[in-house]
Structure 1
Amino acid sequence: MMAEPAEIQSILGLDVSRDTVTLCDGRRHTVTVANEADALRAALQPYQGTTTLAVCEATGGYEDILLGVLLELAIPAHRADPAKVKAYIASFGKRAKNDPIDARWLSRYGCDRATTLPRWQPADPTQQKLELLVARRLDLVAMRVQEQNRLKAPRSRLIADNIRDHLAELERHIEALNAEIDTLIGESRDLALRAQQLRSVPGVGPVLAPLLLAVIPELGTLNRRQVASLAGVAPHPKDSGKANWHRSTTGGRRQIRPALFIAALAACRGDNPLAVAYKALLKPAKPKRVALTAIMRKIITIANARVRDAVRHQNEIGKINA
């Protein structure tokens, strides 16, 4: 049984690297152990059953062994956003950096925010695989664009055949990933239901639907402001005193906004309520980019609402059948 936020009395800061993990339990003393399950288990055993919260940073996967051991020992953990931790340290005007120093800062960060930090939970294996497949597809599509640009370069004639061969290979890999993603979604009842609801939204096609499922797994559990912010289409005020500047849409998960832009273009050219809304926005001489951003926001909020309603309905049917 993991400790509740109110019960946490001590914070364990853990700085993770590829080969080692440095621990700090709130005091100046730190200890460094190998980033291996047995070594971490031995180092963390004394904290099992105590009211301790472990705080580490997301490091692109190097923290997975540590989080697995913490889960095994039932020690609650928070995987921190490195940007937030960096901003926290910068707010004190500190610049020194090494593994023991970082571990101390993580411990202090946890002490200050323990009651508000969300606890890490292991990802569903199917969801995790979907995220990896979609991320790999994005990488290959970016490579394809790079190769297409190289092929158009004036001095590429001597290597054009090589570039075309690589493009053909990339196309084969992308098609294979598309098939694997479709199969994975089809084999999961929950993902299939969510994908079906997403595809019912104007502009959302076979590329954007899996992307939304992978990058915003919280879809259906958020309110319209939260989902717009995660998608990077929420207008943020920039006012000071009597100065009122145009609101800008920034932040969010960077993979979503470009795909939403394409979806908005497709929706605006079709025969659907979003196209009508787009034309209505243009009538008061609103810039096209502002109108398109509004349609992007409508797409993601409609998608969020439809997924939410479908999941609720499925859960209600499950309760009745039970």
Structure 2
Amino acid sequence: MDKTICGVDVSKEWLDAHVEPNGAAGRFRNDAAGITDLAAWCQGHGVELAVMEASGGYERLALLLLWDLSLPCALVNARSVRRFAEAMGFLEKTDGIDAAMIAGYAQAKRVQPTLPPSPAQQRLKALVARLGQVTGDLTIQKQRKSAAADTETIASLDEVIALLVRQSRRLEGEIASLIDDDPLWACLDRAFRSLKGIASRSVARLMAELPEIGILSNKAIAKLAGLAPIANDSGKRSGRRPVRGGRAGPRGVLFLVASIVAKYDPHLAAFQHRLQAAGKEKMVIRIALARKLLVILNAKARDARTEFANAT
């Protein structure tokens, strides 16, 4: 028997809700009071699972508070829901329709709850995101300084650069302390950095944006990072198998780090040379190296998690 599911379309100010299978609909403010009202409304309709799309962070408060209010929640991919809606004949798009389509998609897909991140995981992700912003701003200011000519502009830029450098160092220190204070994270950090060429900042990004590493299978973690080839066959035709989707952040880190690690790791270097000798395209080699590195890191994380569990 299908669960009673509430699809929630999230915007900055509003939460539009639709319950399947009874078709009840409602609108609530996207704040603590509105989310509390939504939880009570869902309880009144016997909702067993609330499902919402990842909406650039606007869904975060609802996800956390609904779990706190004992209503399990799940996140789904917005593009998948839109394609489901189109397949069901809904070409139009409104908040109410989107909420209904989220609920219908969740039932058809038999979506499972998405456990909320721990407070430490939330803080790590926020610190890593802020460090990335500061690093980007620092790069821009240095580029402006290199193009500046007058001393007053250069002095002004130097002040901004000095501030950003201080913030970058402070954020790096907070991230390092947060990882060191968590026994499991410290164990994962040592496992990842046993590969020469992987810096602490790369480890922090992977742990913040790919917390499932070491828990999922190699195939599942590769698909989550958008590094798994997608089958494209029909009849006798065997098409090119592209990669798409997945989490852009971890994928970008793996693209960058894989080429560095390959300079030091003989197995990864040999793998790269075999692909080059076979005449593979540069982008194909880049993707394959990143996927190979992810598989290695996933195995190391799995071993580290097992070692940690046995030690506790």
TM-score, scaled relative to structure 1: 0.83
Tell me which of 80, 103, 106 is aligned to 1:107.
Answer: 103
Between stretches 182-191 and 228-237, larger displacement belongs to 228-237
The 3-state SS of whatever aligns with 1:23 is strand
Q: Take 2:269 and 2:123, find their aligned partners in 1: how far apart are those partners?
A: 35
Residue number in structure 1 paired with 2:78: 82
Q: Distance in 1 between matches of 2:199 and 2:103?
A: 44
Matches of 1:256 and 1:53 in 2, distance apart? 29
Say if 2:134 is the partner of 1:173: no
Report if aligned partners of 2:9, 2:98 keep a CA contact under 8 Å in 1. yes
39, 48, 51: which one aligns with 1:44: 39
Distance 1:232 1:127 in 2: 22
Structure 2: unaligned runs, 5 residues or longer: none
Partner of 2:113: 119
Q: Distance in 1 between matches of 2:101 and 2:180?
A: 44
State the partner residue of 1:3. none
Shift in CA distance, 298/29, structure 1 to aligned 2, threshold 3 Å: closer
3-state DSSP class of the match of 1:204? Answer: coil
Q: What are the superposed Cα offsets for residues 177-197 of structure 1, whole Å, 9 maximum, x if unpaired?
A: 111111110010011011111
Match of 1:147 in 2: 141
Q: Residue 16 of structure 1: CA displacement?
A: 2.7
Equivalent in the alignment of 1:70: 66
The offset of 1:51, in angstroms, is 5.3
Residue 14 of structure 1 corresponds to 8
Distance change >3 Å, CA 151–CA 246, structure 1 → 2: farther
Deviating more after overlay: 83-92 vs 117-126: 83-92
Structure 2 residue aligned with 1:277: 271
In structure 2, distance between residues paired with 1:294 and 1:90: 33
Kept in 1: contact 2:225–2:250 (CA 8 A): yes
Q: Once the two structures are aligned, what percentage of the paired residues are identical?
A: 30
Aligned counterpart in structure 2 of residue 218 of structure 1, from 189, 212, 220: 212
Distance 1:282 1:21, change over 3 A: closer
One-letter code aligned to 1:195: D
Letter in 2 for 1:180: E
Separation in structure 1 between the aligned mates of residue 233 and residue 138 of structure 2, nearest angstrom: 41
- Contact 2:187 2:308 (8 Å CA) reproduced: no
Which structure 2 residues correspond to residues 251-262 of structure 1 after superposition, within 5 A? 251-262=245-256
Partner SS, residue 83 of structure 1: helix
TM-superposition CA deviations, 1:107-159 (whole Å, max 9, x none)? 3333333xx21203221111111111111122222223333444455xx4354
Q: Per the alignment, in what secondary structure is the counterpart of residue 24 of structure 1?
A: strand
CA distance 1:81–1:284, change in 2 (3 Å): closer
Q: How many pairs were matched up? A: 308
> Scaled by the length of structure 2, what TM-score is found?
0.85
* Contact 1:202–1:274 (CA under 8 A) maintained in structure 2: no
| Correspondences of 1:221-232 after superposition (within 5 Å) | 221-232=215-226
**Structure 1 segments unaligned to the other structure (5+ residues):** 1-5
In 1, Cα distance between equivalents of 2:155 and 2:234: 57
Structure 2 equivalent of residue 263 of structure 1: 257
